[in-house]
Amino acid sequence: MNAKPAHSHRILFLPGASGDPAFWHGVGQRLPSAWEKRFLAWPGLGDQAPNPHVRGFPDLVDLACAELTAPSVVIAQSMGGVVAIELALRMPSLTSHLVLTATSGGVDVTAFGAEDWRAEFLDAYPNTARWILQAKPELQARLHKLDIPTLLLWGSADRISPPAVGRHLEQAIRGARLMVIPGGDHGLGTNQPDRVAAHVQRFLAPGSAPESPFAAHFPA
pLDDT digits (tens, 9 = 90+) for 163-182: 999 999 999 999 999 999 99
pTM for the whole structure: 0.91
Instruction: Report the pLDDT averaged over residues 46-68.
Output: 95
User: Residue range 199-220: average pLDDT?
Assistant: 61
Query: Is the pLDDT reported for residue 2 higher than 50?
Result: no
In 3D, which of 66, 92, 64 has the Cα closest to residue 80?
64
Task: Yes or no: say if 186 and 161 are a contact pair by the CB < 8 Å rule.
Answer: yes
Q: Please name each of the domains of the chain with its CATH number.
A: 14-204 (3.40.50.1820)
CA atoms of 14 and 84, how far apart (whole Å): 8
100-153 pLDDT, tens digit per residue, is 999 999 999 999 999 999 999 999 999 999 999 987 789 999 999 999 999 999
pLDDT at 199 over 70: yes
Question: What percentage of the chain has pLDDT greater than the value 70?
Answer: 91
SS3 content of the chain, % helix, strand, coil (to 5): 40, 15, 45
Please say if the pLDDT value at position 3 is more than 60: no
- Residue 6's pLDDT is 46
Confidence tier at 208 by pLDDT (50, 70, 90): low
What average pLDDT does the chain have? 91
Beta-sheet strands, E only, within 53-146: 72-77, 95-101
What is the model's pLDDT at position 86?
97
CB atoms within 10 A of CB 201: 15
Residues 6+ apart with CB under 8 A from 146: 85, 88, 89, 92, 98, 173, 174, 176
